[in-house]
Structure 1
């Protein structure tokens, strides 16, 4: 069998300063479709974070759907939801594309959306694993793919019975282990070792994986990492969530993060983006090939004087650039920007600073900082409640109340409570305070 593994598209992500990357996403998704047509896979798996924002902008939603439909025209395609994906949106999309009956050949739907479960007060591991059943797909060589999807599991689903915040990480890790054991057992139940290949498609953070630091920081803490030895020993574990393409170095398994298709922010500078082609035959070792992606603009940083910038000008091309220019003395001021742009005219300058001799670089943002657009207030409040150890059933109630307060605060017609009390106290016929 042949399977194409892609991940973490994050459609809608912009570069610091609000520079749109829509055209780049169009180009790289078209490139992925071309690769799919060339390699002719039996199955295409996207391991989550289709969009960067929940909900996505209308144009981004349209682009993502068109890209998935194009892939589904090549081979059956499964999207396993990530932490950036809206469960309600993915459920709606899955209902929409699978509302019609399958064809006369009885083959499974060509496009499936496996939504993450929303944070809940209580959820047994078996119940969460049952969010989606084992999917099966025939292959061109007469074999069969059995796929176990594991969308992103929020910590609140594991911590209902956890009363001690210092044990939350261990409880979550045990929960993920139980989920994967359950899925592996269901994969193996009734499978034919001479005809079936077994695949896990999961959106999670595995210990030892190297982040790009463009991921959402609260979702890649080591305290909540999935233990590497919890991954099942099956044909292939397709992983999403980490943007740096990489294999998981654990003996006895074949597991890989496909990574993001573009350099999403400066934590990914220098990374070569790729998709993963997996070839497997029952009873034989799995073969994995990474296919480099060439679309998209690079993100580059520069530190040095103007002469050094001029010497390296040909390296920048149309990149997004953050530059620190070392100068002999003050005085360039606003002219510095014009000078830099004249030296690298095709590049887009998204950050520019001037340093005098002897400067000591003490950055406000380090390499681990997430310079992507800030999460929504409701997301930050949810993560705060989780980190502080609030019981999930209480956290859900607090989240609902908090969302209600935000809605009220945003409403144009909201009246100040004190003002309303004074109005109520006025005699009839008096309209002014």
Structure 2
């Protein structure tokens, strides 16, 4: 049985003023093509389906269109759980209609998916946080333990009455109970969750820059050691870089986001994970690279000419550009840079300061008001001294005349 695992679509995501919807259309089509070319039997989407609780019409349209294509109009089951960016109620809302097309949308932890029989497969068993699928082309079922995102308080409300118990304990007991009841070695056993999970005793995994964090201290940190022994593959969402925090035999995979969504991800290759699973055997799996979407680049230059040359040679990118120089950038230089490239997300001027034998660069905030920008320039020219009230008053008069 072949399973495609993807996550963290963040449909509707913007990077500052830049919409990513056109790139997302391309990469969604790429994921559909991979699913078809690999002839996968099942698709799992492990949360953060949208970027906000109230996604745009374009994002919602792309989401349902992609799910319909992945489901082959009801022939291939698709299971999607909510993440920390999603509204659980919004994800749940279309489920009665979606399930008739083989699409199962799970918004809340411990949700119960009602049984259904379609032409190509059926849900043969169900429980809170669990479904068993029987595909007509296989003589064994696939069991899926599913845990959409909820914060620590809500997870405890869903999964246990003991509010003082650690989240690890609550999840471990819940997953173990489901696995012991339903996951024998006569079927394929999968866990999918949108959680901050790591292997106990290892370094902290960085959450995506600019994303809503899950990990607050160690309160929401879940350890992979609590995954039941019956589980053959764990499909995770939340971290945007592909990584296996489990073992080769029992992989626990963050499949990555389909696009680079922040400059901390610049240079990352994005993937989907393809799993080949049989009952009572270790799974085999491979990551397949996604090629659509613009590259994100963090570039630093010491001259405007070098920056313009690189920008001209790399038009199909989104750029965070840092320019280090000995003087403030002129308005003509800034205009020239922006005219040379349509994808400059951030322009960060840094002015060199030499104090004794030490050279430092001071970052200039171009988003501040003109008075603050002038005062920064004055301080740079006058050994850190602020402009006095008389000078600022004169500057304001000149500024008013120019409006």
Give the shorter-chain TM-score range: 0.7 to 0.9
Residues 144, 248 of structure 1: alpha-carbon distance in 2 compared, 3 angstrom cutoff: same
Q: Distance in 1 between matches of 2:324 and 2:213?
A: 32
Alpha-carbon distance, 1:221 to partner:
4.5
Q: Distance in 2 between matches of 1:249 and 1:210?
A: 17
Residue 91 (structure 1) aligns with: 92
1:9-43 residue CA offsets vs partner (Å, 9 max, x unmatched): 01011002x21111011111011011111001110
1:379-430 residue CA offsets vs partner (Å, 9 max, x unmatched): xxxxxxxxxxxxxxxxxxxxxxxxxxxxxxxxxxxxxxxxxxxxxxxxxxxx
Q: Distance in 2 between matches of 1:46 and 1:260?
A: 11
The answer to whether the 8 A contact 1:48-1:80 is kept is yes
Alpha-carbon distance, 1:64 to partner:
0.6
The answer to whether the 8 A contact 1:232-1:253 is kept is no
Residue 104 (structure 2) aligns with: 112
Other structure's SS at 1:356 match: strand
Residue 170 (structure 2) aligns with: 175
1:136-285, aligned counterparts within 5 Å?
136-138=133-135, 140-158=137-155, 171-188=166-183, 191=184, 193=185, 195-208=186-199, 209-219=205-215, 221-233=217-229, 234-250=231-247, 253-285=250-282
Q: Distance in 2 between matches of 1:315 and 1:15?
A: 22
Q: Distance in 2 between matches of 1:214 and 1:174?
A: 30
1:346-425, aligned counterparts within 5 Å?
347-358=342-353, 360=360
Residues 363, 136 of structure 1: alpha-carbon distance in 2 compared, 3 angstrom cutoff: farther
Q: Distance in 2 between matches of 1:211 and 1:230?
A: 21
Alpha-carbon distance, 1:310 to partner:
4.9
Alpha-carbon distance, 1:312 to partner:
4.1
Other structure's SS at 2:130 match: coil
Other structure's SS at 1:301 match: strand
1:14-163, aligned counterparts within 5 Å?
14-16=14-16, 18-73=17-72, 75-98=76-99, 110-117=102-109, 130-138=127-135, 140-158=137-155
Residues 158, 353 of structure 1: alpha-carbon distance in 2 compared, 3 angstrom cutoff: closer
1:214-247 residue CA offsets vs partner (Å, 9 max, x unmatched): 4312446533110121122321111111111111
Q: Distance in 1 between matches of 2:155 and 2:235?
A: 23
- Alignment length, in residue pairs? 333
The answer to whether the 8 A contact 1:80-1:113 is kept is yes
Q: Distance in 2 between matches of 1:183 and 1:241?
A: 23
Q: Distance in 2 between matches of 1:364 and 1:55?
A: 34
Q: Distance in 2 between matches of 1:172 and 1:87?
A: 20
Residues 265, 364 of structure 1: alpha-carbon distance in 2 compared, 3 angstrom cutoff: farther
Residues 196, 117 of structure 1: alpha-carbon distance in 2 compared, 3 angstrom cutoff: closer
Alpha-carbon distance, 1:187 to partner:
3.3
Residues 326, 210 of structure 1: alpha-carbon distance in 2 compared, 3 angstrom cutoff: closer
The answer to whether the 8 A contact 2:351-2:362 is kept is no
**Structure 2 unmatched ranges of 5 or more:** 111-125, 200-204, 354-358, 366-403
Alpha-carbon distance, 1:182 to partner:
2.4
Alpha-carbon distance, 1:252 to partner:
5.5
Residue 13 (structure 1) aligns with: 13
Q: Distance in 1 between matches of 2:239 and 2:298?
A: 22
Which structure has greater helix proportion? 1
1:253-289 residue CA offsets vs partner (Å, 9 max, x unmatched): 2110111101111121111111000002223321110
Residues 250, 9 of structure 1: alpha-carbon distance in 2 compared, 3 angstrom cutoff: same
Q: Distance in 1 between matches of 2:80 and 2:223?
A: 23
Q: Distance in 2 between matches of 1:272 and 1:33?
A: 18
Other structure's SS at 1:34 match: helix
1:159-192 residue CA offsets vs partner (Å, 9 max, x unmatched): 57778xxxx7x7222222222222322332xx4x
Alpha-carbon distance, 1:313 to partner:
4.3
Residue 326 (structure 2) aligns with: 328
1:286 to 2:283 alignment: yes
1:36-70 residue CA offsets vs partner (Å, 9 max, x unmatched): 11001110010111111112122211111111111
Which structure has greater strand proportion? 2
Q: Distance in 1 between matches of 2:145 and 2:155?
A: 20
Q: Distance in 2 between matches of 1:83 and 1:20?
A: 21
Higher relative contact order (CA 8 A, sep 6+): 1
Residues 360, 130 of structure 1: alpha-carbon distance in 2 compared, 3 angstrom cutoff: farther
Q: Distance in 1 between matches of 2:128 and 2:18?
A: 37
